[in-house]
Structure 1
Amino acid sequence: MNLFKDDLIAVAQSPLHHWLNQLPAQLQHWNQARQHGELRKWLKCVEQLPALPAEEVSLGDTVTVRATKVEEGQQNRIRGLLQQLTPWRKGPFELHGVNIDTEWRSDYKWQRVAPHIGDLSGQQVLDVGCGSGYHLWRMLESGAEQVWGVDPGQLFMAQFLAIRHFMPTALQARAHWFPLGVEDLPELQAFDTVFSMGVLYHRRSPIDFLTQLKAQLSKDGRLVLETLVVEGDVDTVLVPGQTYAKMRNVWFIPSTLALLHWLERCGFKQAKVVDESVTEVTEQRATDWMTGQSLSDFLDPNDASKTIEGYPAPRRAVIIAQA
């Protein structure tokens, strides 16, 4: 529980204070439950990161923290500890001269989303399936008062804590991460904006998932949904076989028209598609910080418009809807 002490205090001091009816018990259960075998090692890496002043901070395309003077030994220590937290999926980051070139250029996704969300000033913002938290920092850049990430991935949690470790205290106090899934959240009805990016197609029941997202929004809140889609009419939904682009946990990929229909059925209003594009291999690729297979390995080598299984290659859309 000490791991989340400051985050629980932040909950108590926020419009989300009613979450405390359930959250501490959930975190206690998580702490006692079976955890990833590497979690202790990952958290030890975070604890061993050197304390350096955050004299230059940028929450731009590359989330960056720098000190005026960093000794070579400190930089090597940072690099060595952070490399023990591989694979790094979402980023990029630069921490005191150490460049974390992540598998995904998550800034590309943010560039497609940001023009359509406007100013987040004063908002309580939730990111469901936030991964290492890259987009949480971009949401703070856009003015959010507090950002809250939930994701069950324990390596992601360690990566987020590593990034937050280097941030100035004022930013640390505004960014929070809990090892939960959306199904673990009560109907908080408290967030001004809820983001869910790259999660819907991993859910066995997409309608339940959309309903759970809606339950987190305040009366006038909005959903920012980014997900895989296929071309087609309102009745088009791809249900892959065992894998899609070598991913085993892909269940439903709708057309944008079908997805808009789903959102309407779930009670959302004014849903609109604000961006749709094919994912390029420059956006998702193997790097020194993620050395496994990536998008180029998932596509048909003779026809990049198809996955290795013969399905349409990844196409992603951004949809904004009102609660």
Structure 2
Amino acid sequence: MIDYTQLYQGLQHIPELRSWLAQLPQQVAENLSPHRWGDLPDWRAAVEALPNIAPSSIELSNSVRIGKASDASPQQLQRLEQELRKLHPWRKGPWEIFGLPIDTEWRSDWKWDRVLPHLAPMENRLVLDVGCGNGYHCWRAYGAGARRVIGIDPSAKFVAQFYALKKYLGDEQPVDLLPLGIEALPANLRAFDTTFSMGVLYHRRSPMDHLRELRETLRPGGQLVLETLVIDGGLGDCLVPEGRYAKMRNVWFFPSCATLESWLRKCGFRNPRTVDLNITSLEEQRRTDWMHFESLADFLDPQSPDKTVEGHPAPKRAVLVAEAP
């Protein structure tokens, strides 16, 4: 069920990405190895056990909605939910599949609604989504008109979730998720019209290296869409937590918007600007029936919810856009 044949064939027709085919199949095989992911056989089995149901409709423009409950028998719907729950936790969404709502931890549709007004027209664009999770925003980008979307995320479980849904969205759709990090991409690609990096920068030990890697994915004039955690402050202000932040371990730099714009200019981007600033709410990130682990309410100080449990400012997320030189 996790099959990249259509992607490999499609890349043959994109000159800027054709050379990647020399190493890409080996990269995929290494990163989807049971030696690396002990639970991968179980995740694959859940995907392969999904019932065969033909959706009567697919909606990608205003949400991600696949088919209707009447497309399937009660037994098929029961099996569908049973197998999809084996891929817990579901973090990005929401999804509706044959009437079954997957209520994910994040209301990723809210983030998309904040980003969408600031995107260059998406029609016929080649799009890369870095750290895309299970690919929710990949499908929304395709629904907005992109000609091909490639998501990358090193988590094999997210890849399994993506291909569970692609079973019903259609193998022929030019949207794929590779089990890779950005460091696996060939240097200086200069191929994509739009590159998303949303919720990634603060996990990178070297933010400047990440920004340069993002720049190298873009063709001249291509658009970067960067979403990350920020702090209030002016030029030069940046929080570097010594320990955890909101119980997260792998976190490094939380700049002010002015500082981040300066970093983008230093890395060669043109006209970096902050287009949205949003305090993460308990309605946007929360524990659900499809994500049983701790979530935002557990990460904030119950006596002072404007701070994390460690005493840092509560999560505030900014969206910045810029163009590649």
TM, length-normalised to structure 2 = 0.95
Is the 8 Å Cα contact of residues 108 and 283 (structure 1) preserved in structure 2? yes
Structure 1 residues 217, 145: CA separation in 2 closer, same or farther (over 3 Å shift)?
same
Spell out the pairing of 1:51-62 with structure 2 (5 A cutoff): 51-62=52-63
Return the letter of the residue paired with 1:246.
K
SS of 1:148's equivalent? Answer: strand
Deviation at 1:34, TM superposition (A): 2.7
> Unpaired runs of 5+ in structure 2?
none
Match in the other structure for 2:108: 106
Aligned mates of 2:308, 2:208 — CA distance in 1: 26
Match in the other structure for 1:6: 6
Deviation at 1:4, TM superposition (A): 2.2
Return the letter of the residue paired with 1:13.
H
Aligned mates of 1:291, 1:160 — CA distance in 2: 19
Match in the other structure for 1:132: 134
Match in the other structure for 1:262: 263
Aligned mates of 1:122, 1:60 — CA distance in 2: 15
Aligned mates of 1:270, 1:229 — CA distance in 2: 19
Match in the other structure for 1:167: 169
Aligned mates of 1:62, 1:121 — CA distance in 2: 18
Deviation at 1:60, TM superposition (A): 4.2
Structure 1 residues 311, 45: CA separation in 2 closer, same or farther (over 3 Å shift)?
same
1:121 pairs with 2:123: yes
Structure 1 residues 48, 174: CA separation in 2 closer, same or farther (over 3 Å shift)?
same
Return the letter of the residue paired with 2:98.
H
* Deviation by residue 1:247-287 (Cα, 9 ceiling, x = unmatched): 11111100001100110110001111000111001000000
SS of 1:104's equivalent? Answer: coil
Structure 1 residues 32, 138: CA separation in 2 closer, same or farther (over 3 Å shift)?
closer
SS of 2:19's equivalent? Answer: helix
Is the 8 Å Cα contact of residues 54 and 168 (structure 1) preserved in structure 2? no
SS of 1:90's equivalent? Answer: coil
Aligned mates of 2:6, 2:174 — CA distance in 1: 10
> Unpaired runs of 5+ in structure 1?
none
Aligned mates of 1:17, 1:2 — CA distance in 2: 21
Q: How many residues align?
A: 321
Structure 1 residues 31, 99: CA separation in 2 closer, same or farther (over 3 Å shift)?
closer
Structure 1 residues 2, 83: CA separation in 2 closer, same or farther (over 3 Å shift)?
closer
TM, length-normalised to structure 1 = 0.96
Match in the other structure for 2:313: 312
Aligned mates of 2:2, 2:62 — CA distance in 1: 32
Give the aligned CA root-mean-square deviation in angstroms.
1.5
